[in-house]
């Protein structure tokens, strides 16, 4: 396996025998990663269960994996290319990402995934010769190309104007830690009806569910990070991320991730745990930011 860090995105290629890629809810909680992964199968393929949508991936197809959700894939590949980027880099282009978890894009039906695959192959081939001053522009170009793979599929799930969709989600991200972030505040800010706002977040079960999910994912990232003073207290994380009290936060966290907030203290790595390379890759993922 070879991995390349472009600052805002990660790209890697892997050659491996048949294996299982599994990230259960508890591992998702402990790793503290809120990114989107596109996996291009270059030979053979895989079958998996992403939590609700079974998927099958073969050559010339790309699997979409929301890394904030559990995934289980039995893979028979010989080779594959993957690109990982922060959710915001994709959601700012297409709006909804969560509902696409486990979806398979076919380059036989849409040339965009094939074009992205060819581009990533070229990027990997010359990665060792690139200068650091070139990386930000290449990362931005890659994220734009990733977004170009989605619109046809995503449009089926978002009947609301994309500009409004993105603007509302950006507003929620900015105000996520505020106790004043409510449905009423969003309606007033954008002049939307409640019905329109619900349709905007229908794929996530409504705007309140979306806000709760974003807060929990933010809380999980904070709980899996530590500075020279150690990890933040659970109560501090709860208030920072907009929850009214520690008890309600702990209950919501356990329902979402299957463990209490205090149990996220020791991070886990990917299924190939024990490899120094895997630990480095996980560290890179945690450092990614839009």
pLDDT band at 61 (very low <50, low <70, confident <90, very high): confident
Query: Average pLDDT of 220-238?
Result: 78
User: What 3-state DSSP class applies to 75?
Assistant: strand
What confidence score (pLDDT) does residue 32 get? 64
Q: Average pLDDT of the chain?
A: 77
More confident position, 93 or 111: 111
What confidence score (pLDDT) does residue 53 get? 44
> How far apart are alpha carbons 18 and 30 in whole angstroms?
26
Query: Average pLDDT of 52-57?
Result: 44
User: What 3-state DSSP class applies to 81?
Assistant: strand
Stretch (H or E) spanning 195: helix 194-200
- Phi and psi, residue 196, nearest 5°: -65, -40
User: What 3-state DSSP class applies to 276?
Assistant: helix
- Phi and psi, residue 32, nearest 5°: 65, 40
| CATH T-level fold of 2-156+268-287 | Jelly Rolls (2.60.120)
- C-alpha of 272 from chain center: 20
Query: Average pLDDT of 227-255?
Result: 88
Ranges of each domain in the chain: 2-156+268-287, 162-264
Query: Average pLDDT of 247-266?
Result: 85
Task: Name the DSSP class of 227.
Answer: B
> How far apart are alpha carbons 227 and 221 in whole angstroms?
13
pTM (predicted TM-score): 0.60
Query: Average pLDDT of 207-212?
Result: 90
More confident position, 273 or 62: 62
What confidence score (pLDDT) does residue 164 get? 80
Does 56 have pLDDT greater than 70?
Answer: no
Does 228 have pLDDT greater than 90?
Answer: no
Most confident option among 8-22, 70-84, 133-147, 266-280: 133-147
Question: Minimal CA–CA distance to 57: which of 68, 43, 70, 69?
Answer: 43
What confidence score (pLDDT) does residue 211 get? 92
Report the CATH number of the 162-264 domain: 1.10.10.60
Percent of the chain predicted with pLDDT > 90: 19
Other CB atoms within 10 A of residue 37 CB = 17
Does 66 have pLDDT greater than 90?
Answer: no
Sheet holding 2-5, edge to edge: 2-5, 10-15, 79-86, 35-41, 61-66, 104-106
> How far apart are alpha carbons 218 and 20 in whole angstroms?
28
């Amino acid at each position: 396996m070879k991995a390349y860090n472009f600052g805002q995105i990660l790209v890697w290629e892997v050659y491996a025998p048949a294996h299982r890629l599994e990230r259960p809810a508890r591992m998702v909680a402990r790793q503290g990663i809120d990114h989107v992964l596109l996996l291009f199968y270059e030979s053979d393929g895989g079958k998996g269960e992403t939590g609700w949508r079974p998927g099958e991936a073969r050559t010339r197809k790309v699997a979409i994996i929301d890394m904030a959700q559990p995934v289980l894939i039995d893979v028979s590949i010989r080779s594959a290319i993957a690109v990982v980027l922060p959710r915001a880099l994709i959601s700012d282009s297409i709006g909804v990402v969560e509902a696409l978890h486990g979806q398979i894009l076919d380059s036989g039906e849409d040339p965009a995934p094939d074009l992205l695959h060819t581009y990533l192959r070229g990027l990997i081939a010359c990665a060792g010769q690139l200068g650091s001053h070139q990386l930000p522009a290449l990362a931005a170009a890659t994220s734009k190309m990733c977004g170009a793979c989605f619109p046809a599929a995503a449009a089926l799930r978002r009947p609301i104007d994309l500009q409004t969709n993105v603007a509302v989600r950006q507003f929620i991200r900015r105000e996520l830690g505020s106790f004043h972030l409510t449905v009423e505040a969003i309606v007033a800010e954008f002049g939307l009806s409640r019905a329109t706002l619900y349709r905007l977040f229908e794929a996530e079960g409504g705007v309140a569910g979306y806000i709760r999910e974003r807060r929990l994912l933010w809380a999980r990232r904070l709980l899996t990070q530590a500075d020279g003073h150690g990890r933040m207290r659970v109560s501090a994380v709860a208030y920072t991320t907009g929850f009214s009290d520690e008890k309600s936060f702990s209950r919501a966290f356990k329902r979402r991730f299957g463990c209490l907030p205090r149990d996220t203290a020791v991070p886990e790595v990917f299924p190939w745990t024990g490899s120094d390379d895997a630990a480095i890759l996980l560290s890179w993922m945690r450092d990614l930011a839009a």
